Amino acid sequence: MRPDDPPSWLCKTEADRERVVDMEPRLRPLRTAALASLAAALLLMGPWVGWWTLIPLALTAAMFAAIDHGIESARRPEYRLFIAWVLAQIAIAASVALSGGPRSPAISWLGIPIVTLAARFSLRGVVVGLLITILLLVVSTISVHPDYAFAHPQAVVFPLALVIAMALLSLALMQSDRHHRSASVIDPLTSMLNRNALRSRVDELVHQAVVINQPIAVLVADIDRFKQINDTHGHAVGDAVLRDVAYRLRKRLRAFDLAYRIGGEEFAILLPGADLDQAVAVAEDLRAAVAGELVAGLRVTMSFGVGASPPGPFDYDATFHAADVALYEAKRLGRNRVSLSSQGAPGAPAAIQAA
């Protein structure tokens, strides 16, 4: 989240927004497979329910394709995803209303998007999504054929109970999954993502880079003279410095730029879509944010090395190595500065931007 990006009602913390961005590429292929299975069912049942029922499904697929494009560069990605989710439910509700209302065999399909709610959003998002689904279910059934609905209440009550049960069960499962995933990918001291999360994100970017054809930059940074801080002021103060620095880094980054703690006082930051010049500007902003005010009551500075992969295939190892070499050069030249590599290629840094 940027400094001027306050928490939203869907994402109360930076970690919530990071989870939204991280979860979307995981859900995308499964959502495509789910839409394909629904399309197959509609094609098979076309002579009985009508071929027109494929239209809302096609519109839903097109809408998700539009939402997916540029989702990682969106300032508030959670809003785009939630709007897409609501529109998908509206499309299903429209199909229910047009295919018989309470007599429609598609009523239970309103429960399918419910499963993805808990995977993306916190309890607040799940509750709002569930209430929207209940409203759509009632409107698409009772308002279409009220006489049939009141004569056969089970046609509405049973699907309603199914939707609520799916929401509760998926929420419980996702809360358990988040707990165990957090234990494996979240650094307990700083609440930043760790090396395990970094490797997972790199794998995703390697696959995406070929498709999006955009540069990807890597920043490697560490806190200057951190050992001296520990030796002089104690490890409790050192821990406070790490927590404060981590917080400042996260606050200055965009929603889709993720920071990771990869060592004692060392951090890595991935910047999808950023070229070398843009990455240097981000690194300088982060450097100034740390150096500009006292950190845990101390003057603390950081040094940054910058590497960038050109548009096309993303060679993370080479880009990280280049940024790491640049970081050592920044240290050699006096610390508290940003050093950049030559187009992300391994070797000596091409230029230095002093503090």
Considering the domain architecture, whether residues 349 and 215 belong to the same structural domain is answered as yes
**Cα dihedral 282→313→267→336 (10° resolution):** -40
pLDDT score recorded for residue 355: 42
Question: Could you say which of 125, 151, 185 is where a domain stops?
Answer: 185
Structure confidence at residue 49 as a pLDDT band (50, 70, 90): confident
Q: Of 8, 26, 7, nearest to 116 (Cα)?
A: 26
Residue indicated by tokens 């940027």 = 2
Structure confidence at residue 240 as a pLDDT band (50, 70, 90): very high
Q: Is 327 domain-assigned?
A: yes
Question: Could you say which of 185, 213, 237 is where a domain stops?
Answer: 185
| DSSP line for 136-181 | HHHHHHTTT-HHHHHHSTHHHHHHHHHHHHHHHHHHHHHHHHHHHH
Q: What is the mean pLDDT of residues 143-166?
A: 95
43-47, 65-69, 217-221: range with lowest mean pLDDT:
65-69
User: Helices 112-120 and 14-44 sit at what angle, rounded to 10 degrees?
Assistant: 160
Q: Is 1 domain-assigned?
A: no
CA atoms of 23 and 251, how far apart (whole Å) = 21
User: Which of the 8 DSSP states describes residue 191?
Assistant: -
Considering the domain architecture, whether residues 143 and 271 belong to the same structural domain is answered as no
**Residues 118 and 16: beta-carbon distance below 8 Å:** no
What pLDDT, in 10s, does the model give residues 289-328? 999 999 989 999 999 999 999 998 999 999 999 999 999 9
pLDDT score recorded for residue 180: 52
User: Which of the 8 DSSP states describes residue 295?
Assistant: B
Q: What is the mean pLDDT of residues 234-258?
A: 91
Question: Could you say which of 167, 185, 203 is where a domain stops?
Answer: 185
Q: Is 7 domain-assigned?
A: no
- CATH at residue 249: 3.30.70.270
Q: What is the mean pLDDT of residues 150-162?
A: 96
Considering the domain architecture, whether residues 26 and 167 belong to the same structural domain is answered as yes
Q: Is 6 domain-assigned?
A: no
Considering the domain architecture, whether residues 244 and 349 belong to the same structural domain is answered as yes
Considering the domain architecture, whether residues 157 and 243 belong to the same structural domain is answered as no
* Phi, psi values for residue 306, rounded to 5°: -125, 130
Residue type, 19: R
For the cut 50, the answer to whether the pLDDT of residue 57 exceeds it is: yes
Strand partners, 269: 219, 259
* Phi, psi values for residue 75, rounded to 5°: -70, -40
The total of structural domains in the chain comes to 2
Q: Which tokens sit at 21?
A: 């961005």
Q: Is 5 domain-assigned?
A: no
Considering the domain architecture, whether residues 149 and 203 belong to the same structural domain is answered as no
**Cα dihedral 225→227→233→239 (10° resolution):** 100
Q: Of 199, 299, 300, 192, nearest to 249 (Cα)?
A: 192
Considering the domain architecture, whether residues 117 and 150 belong to the same structural domain is answered as yes
What pLDDT, in 10s, does the model give residues 264-293? 999 999 999 999 999 999 999 999 999 999
Considering the domain architecture, whether residues 244 and 338 belong to the same structural domain is answered as yes
Residue type, 194: N
Q: Is 20 domain-assigned?
A: yes
CA atoms of 6 and 3, how far apart (whole Å) = 8
CA atoms of 181 and 119, how far apart (whole Å) = 12
**Structural domain range at position 281:** 195-353
For the cut 90, the answer to whether the pLDDT of residue 28 exceeds it is: no
**Residues 80 and 74: beta-carbon distance below 8 Å:** yes
Q: Is 333 domain-assigned?
A: yes
Q: Is 9 domain-assigned?
A: no
Mean pLDDT, the chain, rounded, equals 86
Report CA torsion sign: 319, 221, 17, 177: positive
pLDDT score recorded for residue 339: 95
